[in-house]
Amino acid sequence: MPFVRLLAKRLGTSLIVLIGVSLLIFAIARVIPGDPARIALGPNATADAVAALRDKLHLNDPFLAQYGYFLADLLRGNLGTSLYTNRPVVDDIAQFLPATMELVIVAGIMMVALGLPLGILSARYRGTFIDHAIRLVTLLGVSAPSFVWAVILMLLFAYFLPIFPIAGRLSDSLTIPPHTGFLLIDTLVAGNPGAFIDAVKHLILPAFALALSGIGQAARLVRSNMVETYQKPYIEMAEAYGFPEKRIARRYAFRPSLIPSLTIIGLDFAAMLGNAFLVEAVYAWPGLSRYGVAVILRKDLNAIVGTVLIISAVFLIVNLIVDLMVSIINPRIRLSQRVS
């Protein structure tokens, strides 16, 4: 059962890291200047009221005890109340997360669907015009932050050539009963293909702006890994046997090149969760971004800790999936289960 043992081991490591993340964020939130109780109640509250709230929030206890209370609450699915919205942080995140996830997942699909083929093309035609063109374009892709691409794409394809809508997730005239919060799913559940197409149109520009640097990164990695694989003796052997070039590229060169690339693609996905904040701001996308920035500017501690924790958890889950995919492709990792 090497696979199950690997899964258990990776789950354990992820849990340790997640506890570490919670400790780090909690520590950052506690060492900052300013009294959370005073911030919560505003400048006009009496000293007694502040003292009472400090007691209620366990702010007078030692740091580790405070962290203990926090963990106990967390295990019960309670992240506290946001001072910004006056609602449980969990509810806020549940409301805003699906829009962000939808954007990031579509961007992730674009990254893999465009980045890998570009990388393969570049490696197969190494040193030719195709290779140079792809390398230049992908390098440009990683050379600007996603908000710059978002603005440029918006100017070109929403204003100058009005092909796509300018902002939002869905045209105002449409209302879709929320089930999952993922509009691509909800519109189909509602049996409204028109709204589905509308949602897709709203997604394309922001998702592409978000995906651009990932596409560049993925293409460049696959290229350099494949160029390296092409120099291996077994490729030479396959060529000597006269195997078709396509088969060599697909079966012998691509698969081993994918392994190191996959891990980095997982990390790029994490970067996208952060960069989604930038793209959402440009396209007025009703996701976690506006909430995240608003709570950070207001020093809304519970909400900040909750948001960062959820984003990190999503990231760890993605990395776990990537790790397992790598172990499926690469029997050496699966069988030796070395932690790298």
Partner 1 sequence: MKKTLVILTRNPLSLIGLLLVATVVLSAIFADFIVPFPDHQGAVVDFVNFNKPPEWPYIFGTDLVGRDLFTRIIYAYRISLALGLVVLAIAVPIGVAIGLFAGYLGGWTEYVLMRVTDVFLSIPPLVLAMSVMGLLEPTLTNGMIAVTAMWWPWYTRLVYNLARSEKEEGYVLAAEIIGASRLHIMFREILPNCVPSILTKMTLDFGFVILIASSLSFLGLGVQPPTPDLGSMVAEGAKYLPDSWWLTVFPGLAILVAVFGFNLIGDALREILGVEEQ
Binding segment for partner 1 (CB under 8 A), chosen from 43-51, 77-85, 146-154, 239-247, is: 146-154
Rounded to a whole number of angstroms, the minimum distance from the CB of residue 101 to partner 1 is 13
> Stretches 62-70, 91-99, 273-281, 325-333: which one binds partner 1 (CB under 8 A)?
273-281
Asked if residue 59 binds partner 1 (CB under 8 A), the reply is: no
> Does 8 help bind partner 1 (rule: CB under 8 A)?
no
Site size toward partner 1, by CB under 8 A: 57
Token pair in block for residue 52: 């009472």
**Residue 251 has what DSSP assignment?**
I
Interaction between residue 57 and partner 1 (CB under 8 A): no
Contact at 8 Å (CB) between 197 and 122? no
Which stretch in 17-25, 77-85, 201-209, 234-242 sits in contact with partner 1 by CB under 8 A?
Answer: 17-25
Phi, psi of 81 (to 5 degrees): -105, 140
Cα-to-chain-centroid distance, residue 108:
8
Query: SS3 for 236?
Result: helix
With binding defined as CB under 8 A, does residue 148 bind partner 1?
Answer: yes
Contacts with partner 1, 286-315, as mask; x by CB under 8 A? ------xx--xx-x----x--xx--xx--x
- The token pair at 239 is 């060529």
Q: How far is the CB of 27 from partner 1 (least distance, A)?
A: 11
Q: Does 130 bind partner 1 (CB under 8 A)?
A: no
Contact in structure between 176 and 192 (CB atoms under 8 Å) = yes
Cα–Cα distances (Å) from 28 to 23, 25, 91, 125, 304, in that order, read 9, 5, 23, 49, 10
Report the C-alpha gap between 289 and 90 in whole angstroms. 15
Instruction: Please say which residue, 192 or 263, places its beta carbon nearer to partner 1.
Output: 263
27 touching partner 1, by CB under 8 A: no
Q: Does 11 participate in binding partner 1 (rule CB under 8 A)?
A: no
Backbone angles phi, psi at 77, to 5 degrees: 75, 25
Q: What are phi and psi of 117, to 5 degrees?
A: -60, -40
Q: Mark out the alpha helices in 176-254 (DSSP H runs).
A: 183-189, 193-230, 233-240, 245-247
Query: Residue 88: phi, psi to the nearest 5?
Result: -60, 135
Q: Which residues make up the interface to partner 1 (CB under 8 A)?
A: 13, 16-18, 20-21, 24-25, 28-29, 32, 135-136, 139-140, 142-145, 147-148, 151-152, 154-155, 159-160, 220-221, 224-225, 228, 264, 267, 270-275, 277-278, 281-282, 292-293, 296-297, 299, 304, 307-308, 311-312, 315-316, 319
